């Protein structure tokens, strides 16, 4: 699709870059984190600076009868923002960030990152459990649920979304919360890229900050995978409520030895409390670890730095994930993913979700979870390694899917694999809301194999198992 001729009349200095313009290519992919760039070409990119630009861009798309896509932080692994023939609204230059000390609510535009938000909140003694990687945008993160800091105990980030302002598919600006536009409020907490509108502002409930963060880590040889992971998957279920627990396999420091690390990060207000929380792991961890630490002082900033180092910029990525069935033999299901990493920069992660995975969730679209979150992150540099790395992920997931209940939107690519992303009732309700709010499929929605899911959305079924 070529830009219309003559070009439509737009407000003066409207920040649009039509396909073919000099700056277009940079605007198309310059802010996409994954360097495995898509061969998809929007009609134009609007670099919105104000809410009015978003409204104007949606009205323009309606006039031209083309689709709209959105980019907040640009961290979707599958580059969902880059869609053929759509008007891509890039929110990277639209900044709003404020905090109300009386209500403890932060008002945040979607491209604000976790690090930006927590830097501001830190000055007020508050915290928002945003994404682990510092540069993930609140927009994509919160819409898909948000597996933030200590999610296993503090719950999903979207449970702290009190309201959203939205530009609807026909260009109307509305507020959504538990009283108004409740259908969109339901969808805004778990629809991910299938949200049928553009969020311009999130209202986020914050937590008091914790003054004493400490961690403990235990590194095991690959041969000890079963010993280490059997231990921690059992211990994690009802561990201390302010402690996040993860097991990661990687090649630390790019060395030759694959290691399985069990990491506990506790958020407390005194050394004594932190020690009490971590001591249980210290006392019970299996012998034979080759490295580790106990009660290491840490901070959100330092954890962000570690995450950024593990997910380097300028690289090619392929990821997938699954919630493993609580009744499965979790250690066996994850073994291949943990012990056969395809590159030295890749890593596999098990993230403990219990006990929150066992409690009923509020009435919201996010509705898929189990005690065990498994995610595969392959990281490499050169295009000629694409097939091998993507093949490794698919090969592992073919088997894992059989033992899974579904997956998390945030680490998924619907062009490769579809599965269950919501409970049955919530999934049906979400697709109904999509159809009602955007019958023409103006907002791009889920990027499936042919990018034609439109207003219908996703089937919410395991595909490989059929
Ligand atoms: C290095 C890295 C680390 C990560 N760590 C975590 C983590 O700890 N926890 C976790 O849960 N996830 C994590 N993720 C996944 C991440 O949260 C998702 O990829 C998320 O979609 C990224 O949001 P974004 O705004 O940065 O991405 P974008 O690519 O800008 O947005 C993704 C899609 O979300 C939709 N969207 C975004 N903003 C809006 C909006 N304002 N209105 C309507 N739709 C919108 C659009 O469909 C858009 O294409 C990580 C990803 C990366 C790359």
Q: Rounded mean pLDDT of 260-287? A: 98
Summarize pLDDT for 216-232 with one digit per residue, the tens: 999 999 999 999 999 99
How far does residue 406's CA lie from ligand 1's centre (Å)? 19
Furthest C-alpha separation in the chain: 73
Q: Which residues contact 381 (CB under 8 A, 6 or more apart)?
A: 315, 316
pLDDT tops 90 at residue 93: yes
- Quick one: three-class SS letters along 75-87? CCCCCCCCCCCCE
Q: Of 173, 208, 243, which marks where a domain is finished? A: 208
Mean pLDDT of the chain: 96
- pLDDT, residue 1, reads 82
- Asked if residue 369 has its Cβ within 6 Å of ligand 1, the reply is no
- 157-203 residue pLDDT tens: 999 999 999 999 999 999 999 999 999 999 999 999 999 999 999 99
For the ranges 6-10, 184-188, 370-374, 412-416, which has the lowest average pLDDT? 6-10
Domain that holds residue 40: 16-90
In a domain, residue 445? The reply is no
Separation CA 34–CA 389 (nearest Å) = 14
CA distance 376 to 385: 16
pLDDT for res 466:
53
Question: For ligand 1, is residue 132 a contact (CB within 6 Å)?
Answer: yes
User: 422 lies in a domain?
Assistant: no
Q: What is the CATH number of the domain that holds 346?
A: 3.40.462.20
Residues whose CB falls within 8 Å of the CB of residue 460, separated by 6 or more in sequence, listed in order: 420, 421, 422, 424, 427, 428, 431
Q: pLDDT confidence of 465, banded at 50, 70, 90? A: low
Residue 37: closest CA among 28, 50, 48, 24:
28
CB of 454 closer than 6 A to ligand 1? no
Instruction: Give the number of the atom of ligand 1 that is nearest the alpha carbon of residue 193.
Output: 47
Last residue of a domain, one of 33, 68, 90: 90
* CB-CB contact of 320 with 417 (8 Å): yes
Map residue 309 onto helix, strand or coil.
helix
For the Cβ of 42 lying below 6 angstroms from any atom of ligand 1, the answer is no
Q: How far is the CA of 172 from the centre of ligand 1 (A)?
A: 24
- pLDDT at residue 464 above 80? no
Is there an atom of ligand 1 within 6 Å of 110 CB? yes
Measured in Å, residue 439 CA sits from the centre of ligand 1 at 24
Nearest CA to ligand 1 atom 34: 140
Tell the residue nearest (CA) to atom 10 of ligand 1. 147
Q: How far is the CA of 144 from the centre of ligand 1 (A)?
A: 8
Beta-bridged to residue 107, according to DSSP, are: 98, 203
Q: Could you tell me if 310 and 322 lie in one domain?
A: yes
Same domain, 394 and 266: yes
Residue bearing the CA closest to ligand 1, atom 14:
410
Give the per-residue SS3 of 173-184.
EEEECCCCCHHH
Q: How many CB atoms lie within 10 A of CB 15?
A: 17
Which atom of ligand 1 lies closest to the CA of 166?
42
Per-residue CA distances from 72 to 30, 38, 77, 324, 381 (Å): 13, 17, 13, 30, 25
Map residue 352 onto helix, strand or coil.
strand
How far from chain centre, in Å, is Cα 60? 29
| pLDDT at site 69 | 98
Position 11 in a domain:
no
Q: How far does Cα 116 stand from its chain's mean position?
A: 17
* Residue 92 CB partners (closer than 8 Å, separation 6+): 31, 47, 71, 72, 73, 74, 111
* CATH number of the domain enclosing 63: 3.30.43.10
Q: Is the distance from the beta carbon of residue 76 to the nearest atom of ligand 1 less than 6 Å?
A: yes
Q: CA separation (Å) from 163 to 126, 156, 306, 433?
A: 19, 15, 31, 17
Same domain, 227 and 374: yes
Identify the CATH number of the domain in which residue 126 sits: 3.30.465.10
Per residue, the 3-state secondary structure of 112-126, as one string, reads CEHHHHHHHHHHCCE
Q: Quickly state the pLDDT bin for 254 (edges 50, 70, 90).
A: confident
pLDDT at residue 15, rounded to an integer? 97
**383-431 residue pLDDT tens:** 999 999 999 999 999 999 999 999 999 999 999 999 999 999 999 999 9
**Is ligand 1 within 6 A of the CB of residue 196?**
no
Q: Is the pLDDT of residue 260 over 60?
A: yes
- Count of the separate structural domains present in the chain: 3
Kindly give the distance from the C-alpha atom of residue 142 to the centroid of ligand 1, in angstroms, as a whole number. Answer: 8
Q: Whole-angstrom Cα distance, residue 143 to residue 149?
A: 16
334 inside domain: yes
With a 6 A CB cut-off, is 109 part of the ligand 1 pocket?
no
Establish whether residue 74 lines the binding site of ligand 1, counting it when its CB lies within 6 angstroms of any ligand atom.
yes
Tell me if 266 is assigned to some domain: yes
């Amino acid at each position: 699709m070529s830009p219309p001729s003559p070009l439509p009349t737009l407000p003066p200095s409207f920040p649009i870059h039509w396909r073919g313009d000099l700056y277009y290519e940079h605007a198309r992919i310059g802010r996409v984190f994954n360097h495995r760039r898509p061969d998809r070409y929007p009609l134009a990119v609007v670099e919105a600076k104000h809410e009015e630009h978003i409204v104007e861009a949606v009205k323009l798309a309606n006039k031209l009868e083309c689709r709209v896509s959105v980019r907040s932080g640009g961290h979707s692994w599958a580059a969902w923002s880059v869609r053929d023939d759509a008007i891509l609204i890039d929110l990277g230059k639209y900044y709003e960030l404020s905090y109300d000390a009386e209500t403890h609510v932060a008002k945040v535009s979607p491209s604000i990152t976790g690090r930006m938000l927590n830097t501001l909140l830190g000055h007020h003694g508050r915290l928002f459990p945003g994404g682990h990687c510092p540069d993930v945008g609140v927009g994509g993160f919160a819409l898909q649920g948000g597996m933030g800091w200590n999610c296993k105990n503090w719950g999903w980030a979207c449970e702290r979304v009190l309201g959203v302002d939205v530009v609807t598919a026909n260009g109307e600006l509305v507020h959504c919360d538990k009283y108004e536009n409740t259908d969109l409020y339901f969808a805004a907490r778990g629809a991910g890229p299938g949200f049928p509108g553009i969020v311009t502002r999130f209202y986020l409930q914050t937590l008091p900050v914790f003054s004493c963060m400490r961690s403990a880590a235990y590194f095991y040889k690959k041969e000890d995978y079963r010993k280490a992971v059997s231990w921690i998957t059992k211990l994690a279920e009802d561990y201390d409520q302010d402690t996040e627990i993860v097991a990661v396999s990687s090649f630390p420091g790019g060395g030759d030895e694959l290691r399985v690390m069990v990491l506990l990060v506790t958020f407390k207000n005194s050394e004594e409390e932190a020690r009490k929380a971590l001591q249980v792991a210290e006392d019970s961890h299996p012998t034979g670890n080759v490295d580790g630490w106990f009660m290491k002082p840490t901070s959100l900033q330092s954890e962000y730095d570690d995450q950024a180092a593990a997910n380097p910029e300028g690289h090619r990525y392929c990821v997938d994930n699954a919630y493993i069935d609580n009744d499965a033999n979790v250690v066996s299901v994850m073994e291949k993913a943990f012990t056969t990493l395809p590159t030295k920069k890749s890593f596999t992660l098990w993230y403990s979700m219990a006990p929150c995975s066992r409690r009923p969730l509020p009435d919201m679209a996010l509705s898929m979870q189990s005690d065990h979150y498994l995610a595969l992150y392959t990281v490499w540099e050169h295009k000629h390694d694409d097939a091998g790395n993507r093949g490794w992920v698919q090969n592992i997931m073919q088997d894992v899917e059989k033992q899974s209940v579904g997956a998390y939107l945030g680490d998924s690519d619907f062009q490769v694999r579809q599965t269950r992303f919501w409970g049955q009732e919530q999934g049906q309700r979400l697709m109904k809301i999509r159809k009602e709010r955007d019958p023409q499929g103006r907002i791009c929605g889920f990027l499936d194999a042919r990018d034609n899911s439109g207003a219908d959305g996703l089937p919410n079924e395991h595909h490989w198992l059929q």
